[in-house]
Amino acid sequence: MGLNVSLDAIAANWRSLAARAPAARTAAVLKADAYGTGAARVAPALYAAGARDFFVALPHEGRAIRPLLAPDARIFVLSGPLAGDADLDGLIPVLNSAEQFFRDRVTRKKGAFAIQLDTGMNRLGMERAEWAAVRAEALEAVTDHGTGPALVMSHLANADEPDHPSNPAQLAEFRAMTDGIAAPRSLAATGGVLLGPDYHFDLTRPGIGLYGGLPFRGARPVVSLDLPVIQTRPVRAGECVGYGHAWTAPRDGRIATVAAGYADGIPRALSGAGLRLWAGDRACPVVGRVSMDLITVDVTGLDRVPPVLSLLSERQTVDEVASLAGTIGYEILTSLGSRYPRSWTGDQEPAASPPPQMPRP
């Protein structure tokens, strides 16, 4: 019962994204608790698979996983140092403005840093003029990590649409801003990895593809979610079910009430949207409104109602559920997991062949 996360599938997805960008390092994006799958379990599993570069959004997310990873793992903080959040020990802030850059050089002196450039998304990072103002100082900065930024990166606005003209436009802008620098460069998230080698540079930053979501069509499914049936009842033709009596039974049948609702991250927009829960290979329509803690399901066709009905499995993916709700897999994944018991399968043991160790004296 509950939300099950396959660490083996996450590691396999990481390896197959890494294989698509063989000339680059492949990082792993772990923001928002690894897209709801549990960063504390996912980070060590990806380290064991070979990942050494990790991205989170906020410093506290980085501090939570730092002790779980060996010192050679680098953890980048995409939002950089936020005001009042001084403790970045062992984390690498991504500096997104000239102001963040100059403040960071004063407060952290030799601390390693990364730079984010805005190449056309207009969301985060330095634009040309701002980069021009800090570029020389940034590229020559001496840090504990070496000279210059640990990474110079940018982010694509439309990488999930391979033919979108902003992809080559952002690529050209990134090149114009960074060609010739010695620092390692990064442009691609999951979508960018799939756009091909021009987009890979020195390091890729996949997130959603690791967790089984589009646009990585080749992904192995990662999350399964079974919901407990807490009551079943007969309904007669013409009786109505749930808030607003939004559904009327067209014939005599049977309703199962399942313990999950919008407080668990199942969007209320799924009411009347054609969502189904699965009893083995039998699809059962969700009927009536999704309420805070409960969902009602038409189980009329079943000979026996099982103790759990499945929302996510190989039969119904995160992206299928997202599209019924009018959203994207990212939002479904990051919304789940707040209240379910979560379990993780796979990769409980250390990797069969651990990464090579330094010889001991």
Ligand X SMILES: *Cc1c(COP(=O)(O)O)cnc(C)c1O
Positions that interact with ligand X (CB under 6 A): 29, 31, 78, 155, 189-191, 205-209
Choice between 31 and 342, CB closer to ligand X: 31
Residue 349 CB, nearest distance to ligand X (Å)? 28
Q: Token pair of 113, please?
A: 């840093």
In the bound complex, what is the minimum distance in angstroms from residue 180's beta carbon to ligand X? 23
Do 279 and 305 form a contact (C-beta atoms < 8 A)? Answer: yes
Q: How far is the CB of 14 from ligand X (least distance, A)?
A: 11
- 3-state SS of 122-153 is CCCCECHHHHHHHHHHHHHCEECCEECCCEEE
Residues with catalytic roles: 31, 243
- How is residue 53 written in tokens? 């570069």
Q: How many CB atoms are located within 10 Å of the residue 23 CB?
A: 8
**CB closer to ligand X out of 29 and 222:** 29
Nearest position to ligand X, beta carbon: 207
27 vs 297, beta carbon nearer ligand X: 27
- Of residues 171 and 189, the one with the C-beta less far from ligand X: 189
Instruction: Please name the amino acid found at residue 315.
Output: R
Compare residues 125 and 148 and give the one whose CB is closer to ligand X: 125
Least separation, in Å, of the C-beta of 109 and ligand X?
26
Separation of alpha carbons 273 and 295, rounded Å: 13
Residue 326 tokens, joined: 């009018």
- Long-range CB contacts (< 8 A, 24+ apart) of 240-243? 240/288, 241/287, 241/288, 241/296, 242/287, 242/288, 242/289, 242/291, 242/296, 243/288, 243/289, 243/291
Cα dihedral sign, 50-178-125-87: positive
Closest approach, Cβ 76 to ligand X, in A, equals 9
